[in-house]
Chains A and B, each alone.
Chain A
Amino acid sequence: MVHSSPRTPRLPVRLRSRFRLLMGSGAAAAALVAASVIPFGPLAPAPQQAQAADSGGKKVLTVAVSQSVDSLSPFLAQSLVSTSVLRLGYEFLTNYDPKDAHTVPGFATAWKTSPDKLTWTFTIRNNSKWSDGVQATAADAAWTFNKMMSDPNAATANGSFTANFKKVTAPDPATLVIQLKKPQATMLALDVPIVPKHIWEKVTDFSKFNNDKSFPIVGNGPFVITDFKVDQYIKLKPNKSFWRGAPKFDELDFRYYKDQDAAVAALQKGEVSFVSNLTPAQATALKTTDNIKVNDAPGRRFYALATNPGAKAKNGEKMGNGNPALLDPAVRKALFESVDINTIIDKVFQGHAAKGEGYIPPRFSSYFWKPSDTQRIPFDPAKAAQTLQQAGYKKSGGKLLGKNGKPLNLRILCHATDPNDKAVGKYLQEWWAKLGIGLKVDCLDNVGDPWLAGDYDLAIDGWSVNPDPDYVLSIHTCDALPATPKDSPATDNFICDKQYDALYKKQAAEYDPAKRADLVKQMESRLYDTGYMNVMAYPNAVEAYRTDQIKSITTMPEAAGNIWGQDGYWSWWSAVPADSSSDSSGGSSSTGLIIGIVAVVVIAGGLGLFVMMRRRSTAEDRE
């Protein structure tokens, strides 16, 4: 009998035995971990060893990604990862040439327009089959577009492309006819995956069907999506009958790394072949690593300073609380004259960006525009002070006084998720303080709410530009403003300028590429002159890949461009595996196997030891 004080009751026997069980389980689990950390030097894959092969000799290209797949349905997918994967699984009507982004054939081989610009006739290729062997025809394309036009749920992701369509027909398997309500210059930039009618016509609710339950997914792109696990991996196999020729790798895997440093470690180890969105520090570290090539190329984004132009809805109602001082062109000019773009490029982007000029980045050579010397607002702090003085602004006690006699204090909205924003904000604070202007830097996780409500003075703005610039131009038209302050806007910065709008309408109906490019440049010039957008930089695409896994890969533009997030499938389709006899995946799995076996042995040993210790108590100990 065990003596215990009535004041301190003992644990019931059953509970005690359960406690021992818990301790035993803990010991076993600890043994597992302990066993696993025993170093297996010779068995471990050497760091930085190529892993582009598995035990079957397969050549696998592994891409590190972090963004979640929102959907694998082309009708719903909006995230870059999803649309990039869908680009590999399905063909679009047309594609963009990797050299200079001009239109090249895709699902369609040729196209023509009617004299009134309202009818487009596409010739559909006859050498493309769906991955289940069925011939791909114009009927598939017609069904895809008609579904988007008739079912709002099917227009969730790409409805803007078909909003101007009047009628779509397929008079024969090789002909697709699209009739428009009004001319549309973007008809050769319809980024809409064409899906197989015989598969998709069975779908009943397009708002809920994510196309992620049945594999392989039937498509006719260069790859076939064969497997997917949310936030773990997406696996693709080459489409051997792809009309342009099959990809050279045996498998393309997108593997999830939610932490960028972990992704870089995986690249260094050789677990992945490619990593994108590197920070300057990561790029610098990887440049000196064997078998890794850093691709630091002109990007497709612009990084700009936007000022609130006095946000209004279409019905004329004022929105938000933007500082009225910014409606004065002299104030905006003085602010921009005080921005030292070179410092931003050197110190913030650490050289991984090009100096900002016009609205569209220089890689899109057809549309790139830059201000003339007389038009350009140069960096000149002395001139900035002079500009303000000439406009009638006075200083008092080091503070610039507004027209209302009060010190001028502004706010800038920026993204807390982007370290560059905060750094730029600090510089602006310093530079504008010299003018006597105060600046509060508001870096938020969710900039959307204040931005869309017009509750900001200035904001750090940025967009990725597509080969066809229509969308990034459209977000500065009066049409993009919300109907009323309660409605959600499509506008980026509440700009509404009649001259700009007239040019936008002209370019939207201009089918001649050269004439359209000229109109776009005029728009950029007008946007620059209004002084509501000041492009500071074009950040580079900084990414890296293992040269012992990837021998060659096509960038876009080919001369100097990005690999990840291209307007097309060129990078992964063109990638050539490096000659490597390594069999690291196998090595990795054998290491895992040995570790596992040893772990099991140690667990058994640990449990045995535990039981022996429990039974060690002698008769005299038992009461």
Chain B
Amino acid sequence: MSTASTPGVVREAAGGPVKTGPSGPAARAGSGTRTAYLLYVAGKLAGAVVSLFAVLVTSFFLFRVISRDPIRTMTQGVPTSAAQLATLRHQFGLDLPMWQQFTNYCGDALTGDLGTSYQFHAPVGQLILEKVPATLLLTGVAVLIYSALGLWLGTRSAWHNGGLGDRFNTGLALTLWSIPGFWLGLLLIIVFSVGMGPIPGIFPTGGMSSGDSSGFGYVLDVAHHMVLPVITLVAVGYAQTLLVMRSSLLDEMGSDYLTTARAKGLRDDLVRRRHAVPNALLPTVTMVFINVGFVAGGSILVETVFSWPGLGQLFYQALSVPDLPLVQGLFVVFAGAMILMNLLADLLYPLLDPRVGR
């Protein structure tokens, strides 16, 4: 609750009336608020740093249980002599004692070096950076669309609670949410890529581009390849935003300030957009930030079905070997993205609701 006093108002206090002003309690209160906010920010930043370090340490030991001898697992089925295996182990530092591997890993990670991929013989950081644009493009656009769609439909559903539109919207969203993304993706490929009956196959079956275009043609080519995976991600993802927005707006709808707004003669549309929705946004903003955090991870199944060369597909590829440095690196990146987004959401809360952080 806001504690800011109105300037110029004389309040009763112990010791008689006190005139508030720039140097009065209000100012002190303002200063206290700033201090409280700074402490709040410092606490959140410290928490994020500790979490990130915990992720770094956990990732090293967690993935060591996947395979006792990743090099032998990696080369299984491939004619490999004992000398070749020894060379590979030496190349990747696996012939060192575990404690030395750990200290090397931590030291390198602090300098931004996430190691060398077993299967690609390339720096993990470079491999991840190469895939980031594709993932940000696909999941970024999808999150943007389904957040906007969820907010809009959630608002409409709540405002017309119990109506036919509300029931249809929530029913459809929940149905799509229940459908496995990879299955829906395959269905879309069969219908809109291969073509079915009168429906022509107009979209590519997979990939990010045809590989033979450049300039603006390349942009259009990528957009063309994006359509089906984006539709898939949006279809299975927008329900979450819709339901959160709907329930938080329903909570607001009985509030006195809305009655006041209506009593002033404001249009229903304005009451909703300018009064109800902004106050119902807080829980939805949290979820949007979490979704944005997930953007970094891409979508393993959808990226695999549509052969989209992003981080999700890379993670799947890394796990199938298992390529420990790559798995560790991706784990740190995914977890780091979530930590960063949570931190941003935490830092934004006090701006959205001054009661937070005091």
Interface residues of A (CB under 8 A from B): 2-12, 15-16, 19, 22-23, 25-27, 29-30, 32-33, 36-37, 39-41, 43-47, 54, 68, 70-71, 73, 76, 78-79, 152-153, 155-157, 159-160, 163, 207-208, 210, 227, 229-233, 235, 253, 255-259, 261-263, 265-266, 268-269, 271, 417, 445-446, 448-449, 452-453, 463-464, 471, 487-490, 585, 588-589, 591-593, 595-596, 599, 617, 621
Contact = CB atoms under 8 A, between A and B. Distances in A.
Given A15-B352, A593-B217, A585 B212 contact: yes
Interface stretch (B14-22, B39-47, B105-113, B202-210): B202-210
B270 A3 contact: no
B91 A153 contact: yes
B201 A44 contact: yes
Contact of A593 (B203, B220, B230): B220
14 contacts: A8-B252, A8-B255, A26-B152, A36-B224, A44-B200, A45-B201, A78-B78, A208-B121, A255-B207, A259-B304, A262-B186, A487-B82, A585-B212, A617-B270
Contact of B147 (A26, A152, A257, A258): A26
B73 A446 contact: yes
A22 B192 CA distance: 29
A152 B130 CA distance: 29
Contacts of B67: 446, 448-449
Contact of B278 (A11, A46, A79, A230): A11
Contact of A230 (B190, B212, B217, B309): B309
Contacts of A73: 121
A152 B200 contact: no
Given A30-B148, A262-B307, A452-B69, A163 B83 contact: yes
B66 A5 contact: no
Contacts of A6: 1-2
Most chain B beta-carbon contacts within 10 A, residue among A12, A43, A46, A488: A488
B234 interface: yes
Contacts of B352: 11, 15
Given A6-B1, A269-B205, A621-B266, A596 B121 contact: no
B79 A54 contact: no
Contacts of B83: 152, 155, 159-160, 163
A449 B68 contact: yes
Given A29-B141, A449-B73, A596-B223, A261 B120 contact: no
A148 B221 CA distance: 43
A54 B264 contact: no
Contacts of A71: 120-121
Nearest to B353: A9
Contact of B68 (A5, A453, A588): A453
A530 to B, nearest CB: 22
Contacts of A36: 203, 223-224, 227
A261 B186 contact: yes
Contacts, number: 278
Contacts of B270: 617, 621
Interface residues of B, number: 104
Contacts of B211: 227, 229, 232-233, 235, 253, 255
Contacts of B303: 258
Given A10-B279, A19-B281, A258-B304, A32 B72 contact: no
Contacts of A258: 206, 303-305, 307, 313, 316
B205 A265 contact: yes
Most chain A beta-carbon contacts within 10 A, residue among B193, B201, B305: B201
A22 B147 CA distance: 9
B182 to A, nearest CB: 8
Contacts of B116: 208
A40 B200 contact: yes
B79 A471 contact: yes
Contact of A159 (B69, B84, B252, B322): B84
Given A33-B231, A258-B305, 16 more contacts: A7-B257, A22-B147, A22-B148, A29-B141, A44-B201, A44-B202, A70-B120, A71-B121, A159-B81, A256-B206, A262-B306, A265-B194, A448-B69, A452-B68, A471-B79, A585-B212
Given A12-B351, A471-B79, A30 B145 contact: yes
A79 B314 CA distance: 16
Given A3-B260, A27-B148, A271-B205, A33 B120 contact: no
Nearest to B270: A621
B302 to A, nearest CB: 10
Contacts of B87: 152-153, 155-156, 159
Contact of A599 (B144, B207, B223, B252): B223
A47 B195 contact: yes
Nearest to A5: B257
A208 B227 CA distance: 37
A512 to B, nearest CB: 24
A231 B317 contact: yes
Interface of B is mostly: helix
B77 interface: yes
Contacts of B354: 9
B122 interface: yes
A227 B214 CA distance: 14
Most chain B beta-carbon contacts within 10 A, residue among A157, A263, A446: A446
Given A33-B227, A54-B212, A589-B213, A46 B200 contact: yes
Interface string B55-82: 0000000000011110111011111111
A313 to B, nearest CB: 13
B330 interface: no
Q: Please provide the 10 A-B residue pairs with the shortest distance between their CB atoms, ordered closest to farther.
A: A26-B148, A596-B220, A448-B73, A11-B278, A5-B257, A44-B200, A47-B195, A592-B224, A266-B205, A44-B202
A2 B273 CA distance: 12
A230 B192 CA distance: 26
B207 A256 contact: yes
Contacts of B82: 487-488, 490
Contacts of A263: 205-206
Contacts of A593: 217, 220
Contacts of A230: 120, 127, 130, 309
B307 A589 contact: no
A262 B305 contact: yes
A463 B314 CA distance: 27
Given A262-B189, A593-B217, A22 B275 contact: no
A265 B185 CA distance: 12
Contacts of B304: 258-259
Interface in B113-166: 116, 119-122, 127, 130, 141, 144-145, 147-149, 151-152
Interface string B24-48: 0000000000000000000000000
B212 A269 contact: no
B261 interface: yes
Contact of A490 (B81, B256, B279): B81
